[in-house]
Amino acid sequence: MSETPVRITVDGVEIAAAAGQLLIDACEQAGTYIPRFCYHPRMRPVGMCRMCLVDVDTGRGPALAPSCMLEVRDGMVVETASDAARKAQDGVLEFLLVNHPLDCPVCDKGGECPLQDQTMAYGPGESRFVEEKRHFDKPLAISELVYLDRERCILCDRCTRFADEVAGEPLIGFQGRGYHTEVNTFPDRPFDSYFSGNTVQICPVGALTARPYRFRARPWDLTETTSTYPNATGDRVSVHASRNRLLRIQGVDSEAVNHGWLADRDRFSFEAVHSPERLTEPLLRKDAELSPAPWSAALAAAGDALQAALGRGGPSSVAVLGGARLCSEDQYAWAKLAKGVIGTDNVDAQLGDGLPAELVCALPRATIAAACRPGGTVLTLAGDLREEFGSLFLRLRTAVGSGDVALVEMAPLAGSLTALARHSLRVRPGDADMIAEAILDPPHGAAIAGIATDELRAAAALFADGPLTVLVGRTSVAESATTTAHAALRLARAFPHARFLPLLRRGAAAGAIDAGLVPGLLPGRTTRQGAGAWYGAAWGGVPEHPGADAAGILVAAAAGRIDVLVLLGADPLADFPDRELARRALERVGTVIAVDVFGTASVGCADVVLPAVTFGERSGTHVNIEGRATAVTRQVTPPVQCRRDWEIAAELALLLGSDLRIASPTDAWTELTDLSPLHAGASWDGVRADLDGLLLPVAGDGNGTGGGNGTSGAPPGMVTLEDVRLPGAPVVPFDRYSYRLVADRSLYDRGTVVANCPSLASFARPARLRLNPRDFERLGCRPDDLLRVTSPAGAVSVAASADDRVPPAVAALAVNSGGADPGELIDIDAAVCEVRVEPPIP
């Protein structure tokens, strides 16, 4: 798109438009809405419905043209409501209604239906079509989530285009021809897509409906608020409720974040909010049983345990794990309680499945939009984006698929973007840093670790040339984060122009790091050493001793050095990579205080259980992986006894004799913006003024430098690359008799959210051990054979399958699938997890 604007005349008024802009968009920007059904701004225009016909004169006299297919040209004269345009639009509307059923009274779309609205506004009073309308069986369940009513369908190609172009899963399509055209699936091949809900949202009529919302409400009975879904990208959403129940979540088109798209797991996860399994009252362990207790008793028990621990083992005998699902305000309150009041640095919002917090803070930060901007290169040092970062996957797929962005992959397994990648480097577990080094300095010889040196050189050339965004995350929790961290650090030093997007999968993990809910750091990506005095002055104290991350905390707990462990919505028994360590730790800890929404396995080990509020029930601020702050808005009242996490922190502080001076989320956010150089200038109202929120730091250039406006003295400096201290990355020689384990993720797992959504729970399937087809054959496997997999840490039995996305000598097993648990095989201290796979017993 050129920068020079062009001038066009719309209905007699001259307006400016961007060169190359579509006429329909230019008119809308100027305040003239042209009706449309097939056009969708995030998809290729097709000009099918013909509703947007307008009279356009480009110098050869007025002629009808579809405004969704026409780019503006200087001097273009457009009449959107001339007699000819009106007649054409009325005609199209009548044609659409010819075969459209008159079932608006029982249609979910009624009340928010563009076709209904158009007809009410401009349509004819009665139908001139007197024959029988077209009939189809209805509705048709095209997947477990989506129903299709082909009679209502106006064949606009939106859902089919989305499936094909955006999601890359053409599982629904037009069938038949002309009058008999219908949208449908292939027989017995349902529309099983992680993103199917988007088609329901963009359907301009009631042809596609989602099972969780069908016949649940009428649009005019819904209250609606714009909020942020607490996932890593912080997808902007519209939350719909009626009579204090969440009924629907829709994507909101944020230019910066999600373009309106959502993964189905996020879209339909609101069901968990109203699950009967919710924790709705405090519990106290009495006679080895957890029993309901009043809040006062539960809080007193927690307070007593903390006091006792402080007295016995000092601040370091208290540890806080979790908090990555909370709002920034909650995270800040807990950071202040733990570090300022209790004085412990044993605090980690990540559960051994993220990245070193210092590194995350120090790497110059990228934005999602910059990663997808045409002309750049994206390197992924991460697992399959589709499984964990839905909207980012869709945006990146669109950018890469259109050829605008060059993609280079470094991952042990092939994934959903592999087919589109310019270079796909199969990096064995543990080899990431070695390959990064080889990219910077290609070795002699044709290949290293199975990757051609020519390919490494080509990748290096792409990195050096033009904008580079590195998406760095975890390809596997069976491999230490250290190698990936070293690789990222190496690339950051070699390519100063590179920007990084930390792919931390836990919803607000990035925000938790920024709020200081991690070891070694204080709010605003500052170090304990650098900003200790600053926060000490404001809080009345900071930890004296450096603390440990989740792994260190659990090791300390297992060794009996932790008296009180607070779990902030954390379930280490399910989520920490090393199962045995988590078990030993929780057994040994004196008192476990769990603040949670559901009774997880770890909550079952707790001594004090405090029920918390969840998404939809709280207001606050979400900070995503870009460092973008957006509003989270309360839409329903929580169960009576559930409390806000910041509130619980404030109550516990009072019991410990301190006042956090936080009485509302606004208090917490305002204090954070006053103290933190990162959050400075991002006022509560400022965050809410724009759909895209505010990118932190507000005054900075988005790469880790920003100013503070602290209440007194100089603002503390933020973490730089020089501050990052990583343990050495051991190179583990390849054992040719072993397989290296990749413990990866799938969108639907046995996590509490999915498990408590009736519409989603059945999608989580026990995982199989995926092996390269040749290994599968070599082992003499047949489908469904049970294999015995052993590592130095443990053993599991699991059914195996052949998967050509898995390279030779690698075995892949998804975590938390409800089946065999890779956590039983993982030793958190090992750089990689080598496993033996025994052939099935004949």
Partner 1 sequence: MARLSDDNTRLANEIIGRYPRARSALIPLLHVAQAQDGHVSDAAMEHIAELVGTTPSEVLSTCSFYEMFKRSPGGTYRLNICRGISCHLAGADDVIAHASESLGVPVGGTTPDGTVTLEAVECVAACTEAPCLQVNYRYVGGVATEDFDRLVAELRDGEHPDVPPHGTVSTVRQRIPPGRSAGVSLPEGQGPPPWWERHQGSGDALPAPAPAPADGMIVTARRHQPDAHTLEGYLRTGGYEGLRRALAAAPAAVHEEVRAASLLGRGGAGFPAGVKWGFCPPDVWPRYLVVNGDESEPGTYKDRLLMERDPHQLIEGCLIACYALGLSQCFLYVRGEMALAAERIAGALNEAYAAGYVGSDICGSDFGTDIVLHTGAGAYIVGEETALIESLEGNRGMPRLKPPYFPAAIGLYGRPTIVNNVETLANLPWIVTHGAAAFVGRGAEQSAGTRVFAVSGHVRTPGVFEVPFGTTTFREIICDERYGGGIRDGRDLKAFIPGGASAPWFTEEHLDLPLDKATVDAAGSMLGSGAIVVMDSTTDIPRACHNLVRFFARESCGKCTPCREGTSWLEVILERILAGRGRPGDLDLLSDVCDNISPGLAWPPRMTTICPLGPSAASPIVSGLRDFREEFEAYLPRRIPVAAAPLAS
| Whole-number Å distance between alpha carbons of 99 and 177 | 15
Binds partner 1 (CB under 8 A): choice among 5, 41, 47, 541:
47
**Is residue 694 within 8 Å of residue 529, measured between CB atoms?**
no
> Measured from the CB atom, is 66 or 638 closer to partner 1?
66
> Measured from the CB atom, is 176 or 792 closer to partner 1?
176
> Measured from the CB atom, is 192 or 580 closer to partner 1?
192
The nearest distance, CB 374 to partner 1, in angstroms, is 17
CA Rg value for the chain = 28
DSSP H helix total and E strand total for the chain:
26, 38
Token duo for residue 714: 């100089």
Q: Does 127 bind partner 1 (CB under 8 A)?
A: no
Considering only the stretches 125-133, 242-250, 452-460, 506-514, report the one whose residues sit in contact with partner 1 under the rule CB under 8 A: 125-133
> Measured from the CB atom, is 44 or 243 closer to partner 1?
44
The nearest distance, CB 92 to partner 1, in angstroms, is 5
Q: Does 541 bind partner 1 (CB under 8 A)?
A: no
User: Mask 81-110, x = binds partner 1 (CB under 8 A)?
Assistant: ---x--xx-xxx-xxx-xx-----------
Token duo for residue 50: 């013909």
> Measured from the CB atom, is 33 or 186 closer to partner 1?
186
Which positions from 222 through 251 interact with partner 1, judged by CB under 8 A? none
Strand partners, 609: 283, 594
Token duo for residue 300: 């007193």
Considering only the stretches 5-13, 58-66, 233-241, 303-311, report the one whose residues sit in contact with partner 1 under the rule CB under 8 A: 58-66
> Measured from the CB atom, is 93 or 290 closer to partner 1?
93
Q: Does 361 bind partner 1 (CB under 8 A)?
A: no
| Whole-number Å distance between alpha carbons of 207 and 196 | 14
Q: How far is CA 116 from the centre of its chain?
A: 34
| Whole-number Å distance between alpha carbons of 339 and 316 | 10
Q: Does 64 bind partner 1 (CB under 8 A)?
A: yes
SS (H, E, C) 729-773: CCCCCCCCCCEEEEEECCCCCCCHHHHCCCCCHHHCCCCCEEECH
The nearest distance, CB 60 to partner 1, in angstroms, is 13
Complete DSSP assignment for 710-721: -SSSPPPPBP-G
> Measured from the CB atom, is 92 or 593 closer to partner 1?
92
The nearest distance, CB 509 to partner 1, in angstroms, is 35
The nearest distance, CB 461 to partner 1, in angstroms, is 18
Question: What SS3 class is residue 637?
Answer: coil
The nearest distance, CB 160 to partner 1, in angstroms, is 8
Complete DSSP assignment for 443-491: PSSSEETTEEHHHHHHHHHHHHSS-EEEEE--S-TTS-HHHHHHHHHHH
> Measured from the CB atom, is 171 or 257 closer to partner 1?
171
For residue 219, cis peptide bond before it (omega within 30 degrees of 0): no
- Count of residues of this chain found to bind partner 1 when the rule CB under 8 A is applied: 46
Considering only the stretches 124-132, 379-387, 485-493, 716-724, report the one whose residues sit in contact with partner 1 under the rule CB under 8 A: 124-132
Binds partner 1 (CB under 8 A): choice among 26, 34, 66, 719:
66
The nearest distance, CB 348 to partner 1, in angstroms, is 43
Q: Burial level of 243, CB count in 10 A (0-12/13-18/19+)? A: exposed
> Measured from the CB atom, is 173 or 541 closer to partner 1?
173
Binds partner 1 (CB under 8 A): choice among 49, 394, 396, 830:
49
Q: Does 289 bind partner 1 (CB under 8 A)?
A: no
For residue 64, the tally of other CB atoms under 10 A from its CB is 16
116 — phi, psi (to 5°)?
-65, -45
Go through the chain and tell me how many residues it has: 842
Which H/E stretch holds residue 827?
none
Question: DSSP strand E in 70-116: where?
Answer: 77-79
Binds partner 1 (CB under 8 A): choice among 19, 30, 69, 655:
69
Binds partner 1 (CB under 8 A): choice among 128, 444, 725, 736:
128
Q: Does 51 bind partner 1 (CB under 8 A)?
A: yes
Binds partner 1 (CB under 8 A): choice among 50, 158, 336, 486:
50
The nearest distance, CB 96 to partner 1, in angstroms, is 6
| Cβ neighbours of residue 658 closer than 8 Å, sequence gap 6 or more | 340, 341, 540
> Measured from the CB atom, is 86 or 836 closer to partner 1?
86
User: Around 790, how many Cα atoms within 13 Å sit in the side-chain half-sphere?
Assistant: 6
> Measured from the CB atom, is 64 or 458 closer to partner 1?
64
> Measured from the CB atom, is 33 or 174 closer to partner 1?
174
Amino acid code (one letter) for 274 = H
> Measured from the CB atom, is 50 or 768 closer to partner 1?
50
Q: Does 131 bind partner 1 (CB under 8 A)?
A: yes
The nearest distance, CB 717 to partner 1, in angstroms, is 50
| Whole-number Å distance between alpha carbons of 403 and 196 | 24
The nearest distance, CB 421 to partner 1, in angstroms, is 16
Name the pairing type of β-strands 406-411 and 377-381.
parallel
**Is residue 139 within 8 Å of residue 148, measured between CB atoms?**
yes
The nearest distance, CB 174 to partner 1, in angstroms, is 5
> Measured from the CB atom, is 119 or 670 closer to partner 1?
119
Which positions from 424 through 463 interact with partner 1, judged by CB under 8 A? none
User: Mask 558-587, x = binds partner 1 (CB under 8 A)?
Assistant: ------------------------------
User: Around 292, how many Cα atoms within 13 Å sit in the side-chain half-sphere?
Assistant: 4
The nearest distance, CB 188 to partner 1, in angstroms, is 8
> Measured from the CB atom, is 168 or 520 closer to partner 1?
168
Amino acid code (one letter) for 252 = V
> Measured from the CB atom, is 122 or 186 closer to partner 1?
186
Question: What SS3 class is residue 170?
Answer: coil
Distances (CA, A) of 383 to 362, 459, 472, 809: 22, 19, 9, 18
Angle between helices 528-539 and 665-675 (to 10 degrees): 130
The nearest distance, CB 220 to partner 1, in angstroms, is 29
Q: Does 721 bind partner 1 (CB under 8 A)?
A: no
Q: For tokens 């430098």, what's the residue?
A: 705
Name the pairing type of β-strands 794-802 and 739-744.
unpaired
Which positions from 178 through 217 interact with partner 1, judged by CB under 8 A? 178-181, 185-187, 189
Q: For tokens 């051990």, what's the residue?
A: 769
Q: Does 155 bind partner 1 (CB under 8 A)?
A: yes
Question: What SS3 class is residue 640?
Answer: coil
| Whole-number Å distance between alpha carbons of 578 and 557 | 14
Which positions from 161 through 180 interact with partner 1, judged by CB under 8 A? 164, 169-180
For residue 775, the tally of other CB atoms under 10 A from its CB is 20
> Measured from the CB atom, is 37 or 739 closer to partner 1?
37
For binding to partner 1 (CB under 8 A), which residues are involved? 46-51, 53, 63-64, 66, 69, 84, 87-88, 90-92, 94-96, 98-99, 128-131, 154-155, 164, 169-181, 185-187, 189
